[in-house]
Amino acid sequence: MHNPFVPETLEGWSVLHLMYRVRWDRLRGRAAAERDRLAADAARALAVPDAGATAMVQILGHKADLMFVCFRRRFDELARAQLALSQTELHEALEATTSYVSVVELGMYEMTAKIHEQLGTKHTPGSDEFDRAFDAEMETQRQRVMGRLFLELPKGRYVCFYPMNKRRGEQQNWYSETFERRAAMMREHGMIGRHYAGRVTQVISGSIGFDDWEWGVDLFADDPLVFKKLIYEMRFDEASAKFAEFGPFYTGLQFAPGQLAVFLNGGVPGLT
Protein backbone atom coordinates (compact mmCIF):
# COMPACT_ATOMS: atom_id res chain seq x y z
CA MET A 1 0.00 0.00 0.00
CA HIS A 2 1.32 3.43 -0.97
CA ASN A 3 1.01 6.14 1.67
CA PRO A 4 -0.03 9.44 0.04
CA PHE A 5 1.79 11.38 2.78
CA VAL A 6 5.17 9.72 2.16
CA PRO A 7 7.04 10.90 -0.96
CA GLU A 8 8.24 8.09 -3.17
CA THR A 9 11.91 7.76 -4.09
CA LEU A 10 13.72 6.22 -7.02
CA GLU A 11 17.08 4.55 -6.42
CA GLY A 12 20.19 4.12 -8.55
CA TRP A 13 23.86 3.44 -7.82
CA SER A 14 24.87 1.94 -4.50
CA VAL A 15 27.56 4.22 -3.07
CA LEU A 16 30.41 3.65 -0.63
CA HIS A 17 32.66 6.46 0.59
CA LEU A 18 35.94 5.31 2.12
CA MET A 19 38.15 7.90 3.83
CA TYR A 20 41.72 7.15 4.83
CA ARG A 21 44.69 8.80 6.46
CA VAL A 22 47.97 7.80 4.84
CA ARG A 23 50.60 6.43 7.20
CA TRP A 24 53.50 8.15 5.46
CA ASP A 25 55.93 6.62 7.95
CA ARG A 26 55.16 3.23 6.39
CA LEU A 27 55.92 4.50 2.88
CA ARG A 28 58.91 6.75 3.55
CA GLY A 29 61.52 4.09 3.04
CA ARG A 30 60.07 2.79 -0.22
CA ALA A 31 61.54 3.62 -3.61
CA ALA A 32 59.43 5.54 -6.12
CA ALA A 33 59.12 2.45 -8.34
CA GLU A 34 57.78 0.46 -5.39
CA ARG A 35 55.23 3.15 -4.61
CA ASP A 36 54.21 3.05 -8.27
CA ARG A 37 53.55 -0.67 -7.90
CA LEU A 38 51.49 -0.19 -4.74
CA ALA A 39 49.42 2.49 -6.47
CA ALA A 40 48.84 0.34 -9.55
CA ASP A 41 47.67 -2.60 -7.43
CA ALA A 42 45.24 -0.39 -5.48
CA ALA A 43 43.88 1.19 -8.66
CA ARG A 44 43.28 -2.29 -10.11
CA ALA A 45 41.48 -3.34 -6.94
CA LEU A 46 39.06 -0.41 -7.31
CA ALA A 47 38.63 -0.72 -11.07
CA VAL A 48 35.14 -1.55 -12.27
CA PRO A 49 34.88 -4.77 -14.30
CA ASP A 50 31.30 -4.15 -15.48
CA ALA A 51 29.18 -1.15 -14.51
CA GLY A 52 30.02 1.64 -12.11
CA ALA A 53 32.92 3.93 -11.32
CA THR A 54 35.36 4.90 -8.57
CA ALA A 55 36.21 8.51 -7.80
CA MET A 56 39.57 9.16 -6.16
CA VAL A 57 39.93 12.37 -4.17
CA GLN A 58 42.84 14.00 -2.35
CA ILE A 59 41.22 15.48 0.77
CA LEU A 60 42.28 18.86 2.13
CA GLY A 61 42.70 19.25 5.87
CA HIS A 62 43.18 16.81 8.74
CA LYS A 63 40.06 14.63 8.43
CA ALA A 64 41.59 12.36 5.80
CA ASP A 65 44.20 12.23 3.05
CA LEU A 66 42.30 10.12 0.54
CA MET A 67 38.65 9.48 -0.24
CA PHE A 68 37.51 6.73 -2.58
CA VAL A 69 33.90 6.98 -3.75
CA CYS A 70 32.66 3.70 -5.20
CA PHE A 71 29.56 3.65 -7.40
CA ARG A 72 28.29 0.13 -8.04
CA ARG A 73 25.08 -1.66 -9.02
CA ARG A 74 24.59 -3.52 -5.76
CA PHE A 75 25.87 -3.66 -2.19
CA ASP A 76 27.56 -6.98 -3.02
CA GLU A 77 29.77 -5.14 -5.52
CA LEU A 78 30.58 -2.48 -2.93
CA ALA A 79 31.62 -5.27 -0.58
CA ARG A 80 33.89 -6.73 -3.27
CA ALA A 81 35.51 -3.34 -3.89
CA GLN A 82 36.12 -2.74 -0.18
CA LEU A 83 37.52 -6.23 0.29
CA ALA A 84 39.74 -5.99 -2.79
CA LEU A 85 41.27 -2.74 -1.54
CA SER A 86 41.80 -4.20 1.94
CA GLN A 87 43.82 -7.07 0.41
CA THR A 88 46.31 -4.74 -1.31
CA GLU A 89 49.73 -4.00 0.09
CA LEU A 90 48.98 -0.27 0.04
CA HIS A 91 46.16 -0.84 2.52
CA GLU A 92 48.79 -1.55 5.19
CA ALA A 93 49.73 2.15 4.94
CA LEU A 94 46.11 3.38 5.06
CA GLU A 95 44.29 4.16 8.31
CA ALA A 96 40.49 4.35 7.98
CA THR A 97 39.05 7.57 9.39
CA THR A 98 35.40 7.15 8.41
CA SER A 99 33.10 5.74 5.75
CA TYR A 100 29.59 6.25 4.41
CA VAL A 101 27.04 3.89 2.83
CA SER A 102 24.14 5.16 0.72
CA VAL A 103 22.17 4.77 -2.51
CA VAL A 104 21.72 7.43 -5.18
CA GLU A 105 18.22 8.76 -4.64
CA LEU A 106 15.79 10.93 -6.56
CA GLY A 107 13.01 12.36 -4.40
CA MET A 108 9.57 12.41 -6.02
CA TYR A 109 7.55 14.92 -4.00
CA GLU A 110 5.76 16.52 -6.94
CA MET A 111 5.36 13.28 -8.87
CA THR A 112 4.03 11.36 -5.84
CA ALA A 113 1.19 13.85 -5.37
CA LYS A 114 0.46 13.93 -9.09
CA ILE A 115 0.29 10.15 -9.45
CA HIS A 116 -1.95 9.78 -6.39
CA GLU A 117 -4.30 12.44 -7.78
CA GLN A 118 -4.46 10.95 -11.27
CA LEU A 119 -4.88 7.33 -10.20
CA GLY A 120 -7.39 8.27 -7.51
CA THR A 121 -9.90 9.13 -10.25
CA LYS A 122 -9.64 5.60 -11.69
CA HIS A 123 -9.00 3.31 -8.74
CA THR A 124 -9.81 3.19 -5.04
CA PRO A 125 -6.74 4.29 -3.06
CA GLY A 126 -5.35 1.33 -1.13
CA SER A 127 -6.85 -1.24 -3.48
CA ASP A 128 -4.75 -3.83 -5.30
CA GLU A 129 -5.65 -2.18 -8.60
CA PHE A 130 -4.43 1.20 -7.35
CA ASP A 131 -1.15 -0.26 -6.07
CA ARG A 132 -0.47 -2.11 -9.33
CA ALA A 133 -1.16 1.01 -11.37
CA PHE A 134 0.99 3.09 -9.01
CA ASP A 135 3.91 0.67 -9.28
CA ALA A 136 3.62 0.65 -13.07
CA GLU A 137 3.70 4.45 -13.21
CA MET A 138 6.69 4.62 -10.89
CA GLU A 139 8.55 2.18 -13.13
CA THR A 140 7.75 4.42 -16.09
CA GLN A 141 9.17 7.38 -14.19
CA ARG A 142 12.23 5.35 -13.24
CA GLN A 143 12.97 4.52 -16.85
CA ARG A 144 12.57 8.20 -17.75
CA VAL A 145 15.25 9.34 -15.27
CA MET A 146 17.58 6.35 -15.54
CA GLY A 147 20.44 8.63 -16.58
CA ARG A 148 20.14 10.55 -13.31
CA LEU A 149 19.95 7.40 -11.17
CA PHE A 150 22.93 5.74 -12.85
CA LEU A 151 24.84 8.83 -13.86
CA GLU A 152 28.37 8.77 -15.21
CA LEU A 153 31.08 9.83 -12.78
CA PRO A 154 31.19 13.66 -12.89
CA LYS A 155 34.49 15.04 -14.18
CA GLY A 156 34.68 18.08 -11.90
CA ARG A 157 38.17 18.65 -10.48
CA TYR A 158 36.87 19.63 -7.04
CA VAL A 159 34.67 17.50 -4.80
CA CYS A 160 32.71 18.25 -1.64
CA PHE A 161 30.96 15.54 0.36
CA TYR A 162 28.81 15.92 3.47
CA PRO A 163 26.03 14.00 5.22
CA MET A 164 22.85 15.67 6.45
CA ASN A 165 19.56 15.14 8.24
CA LYS A 166 16.16 16.74 8.32
CA ARG A 167 15.59 17.97 11.88
CA ARG A 168 13.32 15.90 14.13
CA GLY A 169 13.36 18.04 17.26
CA GLU A 170 10.57 19.02 19.61
CA GLN A 171 10.16 22.49 18.11
CA GLN A 172 11.01 21.75 14.47
CA ASN A 173 10.19 18.32 13.03
CA TRP A 174 10.36 17.91 9.27
CA TYR A 175 8.40 14.68 9.36
CA SER A 176 5.45 16.17 11.21
CA GLU A 177 4.94 18.88 8.57
CA THR A 178 2.14 18.30 6.08
CA PHE A 179 2.98 16.76 2.73
CA GLU A 180 2.00 19.99 0.98
CA ARG A 181 4.33 22.09 3.16
CA ARG A 182 7.23 19.71 2.68
CA ALA A 183 6.65 19.62 -1.08
CA ALA A 184 6.58 23.42 -1.26
CA MET A 185 9.81 23.74 0.71
CA MET A 186 11.56 21.14 -1.44
CA ARG A 187 10.36 22.96 -4.58
CA GLU A 188 11.99 26.16 -3.30
CA HIS A 189 15.13 24.22 -2.37
CA GLY A 190 15.34 22.63 -5.82
CA MET A 191 14.97 25.95 -7.61
CA ILE A 192 18.18 27.21 -5.99
CA GLY A 193 20.04 24.11 -7.15
CA ARG A 194 18.81 24.59 -10.70
CA HIS A 195 20.33 28.09 -10.76
CA TYR A 196 23.73 26.37 -10.50
CA ALA A 197 23.12 23.94 -13.37
CA GLY A 198 26.21 23.62 -15.51
CA ARG A 199 28.48 24.83 -12.72
CA VAL A 200 28.04 22.00 -10.24
CA THR A 201 26.86 18.39 -10.38
CA GLN A 202 24.94 17.26 -7.31
CA VAL A 203 24.69 13.59 -6.41
CA ILE A 204 22.14 13.03 -3.65
CA SER A 205 22.16 9.63 -1.99
CA GLY A 206 19.77 8.28 0.61
CA SER A 207 21.20 6.59 3.70
CA ILE A 208 18.20 6.11 6.00
CA GLY A 209 18.67 2.63 7.41
CA PHE A 210 22.21 2.41 5.97
CA ASP A 211 24.30 4.90 7.94
CA ASP A 212 24.23 7.47 10.76
CA TRP A 213 22.77 10.32 8.70
CA GLU A 214 19.76 10.43 6.38
CA TRP A 215 21.40 11.65 3.17
CA GLY A 216 24.82 12.05 1.66
CA VAL A 217 25.57 14.89 -0.76
CA ASP A 218 28.41 14.85 -3.28
CA LEU A 219 29.17 18.01 -5.23
CA PHE A 220 31.51 18.10 -8.24
CA ALA A 221 32.66 21.37 -9.86
CA ASP A 222 35.53 22.99 -11.74
CA ASP A 223 35.56 25.92 -9.30
CA PRO A 224 35.50 25.16 -5.55
CA LEU A 225 33.93 28.54 -4.77
CA VAL A 226 30.71 27.19 -6.26
CA PHE A 227 30.36 24.91 -3.22
CA LYS A 228 30.49 27.86 -0.85
CA LYS A 229 28.05 29.96 -2.84
CA LEU A 230 25.54 27.16 -3.43
CA ILE A 231 25.45 25.89 0.16
CA TYR A 232 25.38 29.44 1.55
CA GLU A 233 22.43 30.41 -0.64
CA MET A 234 20.55 27.23 0.20
CA ARG A 235 20.82 27.95 3.93
CA PHE A 236 18.42 30.83 3.47
CA ASP A 237 15.58 28.69 2.10
CA GLU A 238 13.07 27.43 4.63
CA ALA A 239 13.87 23.73 4.24
CA SER A 240 17.48 24.37 5.24
CA ALA A 241 17.05 27.30 7.64
CA LYS A 242 14.55 25.46 9.82
CA PHE A 243 15.12 21.78 9.20
CA ALA A 244 18.63 21.00 7.89
CA GLU A 245 21.36 19.51 10.08
CA PHE A 246 24.80 19.04 8.53
CA GLY A 247 27.56 16.59 9.32
CA PRO A 248 31.29 16.99 8.64
CA PHE A 249 32.40 18.32 5.25
CA TYR A 250 35.12 16.66 3.17
CA THR A 251 36.57 18.79 0.37
CA GLY A 252 39.32 17.90 -2.04
CA LEU A 253 40.66 17.38 -5.54
CA GLN A 254 39.46 14.55 -7.76
CA PHE A 255 42.21 12.79 -9.66
CA ALA A 256 42.53 10.03 -12.23
CA PRO A 257 43.23 6.51 -10.88
CA GLY A 258 46.48 6.46 -12.84
CA GLN A 259 47.62 9.48 -10.82
CA LEU A 260 47.55 7.68 -7.46
CA ALA A 261 51.28 7.00 -7.80
CA VAL A 262 51.93 10.73 -8.22
CA PHE A 263 50.18 11.33 -4.90
CA LEU A 264 52.11 8.57 -3.11
CA ASN A 265 55.35 10.04 -4.42
CA GLY A 266 54.60 13.49 -2.99
CA GLY A 267 52.98 15.27 -5.93
CA VAL A 268 49.52 16.74 -6.39
CA PRO A 269 47.70 14.24 -8.64
CA GLY A 270 45.93 15.48 -11.77
CA LEU A 271 42.54 14.70 -13.22
CA THR A 272 44.05 13.47 -16.48
Considering 100, 109, 158, 162, which one is annotated as catalytic? 162
Rounded to whole angstroms, how far apart are CA atoms 132 and 270?
A: 50
162 assigned to active site: yes
Beta bridge partners of 164: 215, 246
Rounded to whole angstroms, how far apart are CA atoms 60 and 263?
A: 13
Amino acid in the structure at residue 232: Y
What ranges in 150-237 are assigned the alpha helix state H? 179-194, 225-234
Rounded to whole angstroms, how far apart are CA atoms 232 and 253?
A: 21
Sign of CA dihedral 141, 142, 147, 151: positive
Pairing mode, strands 158-166 and 200-206: unpaired
Are residues 86 and 195 in contact, defined by beta-carbon separation less than 8 angstroms? no
- For the chain, how are helix, strand and coil distributed in percent, rounded to 5? 40, 30, 30
**Intra-chain end-to-end CA distance of the chain, in Å:** 49
Rounded to whole angstroms, how far apart are CA atoms 15 and 12?
A: 9
Instruction: Tell me if residue 2 falls in helix, strand or coil.
Output: coil
In this structure, how many other beta carbons lie within 10 angstroms of the beta carbon of residue 65? Answer: 21
CA contacts within 13 A on the Cβ side of 223:
8
Active site residues: 162
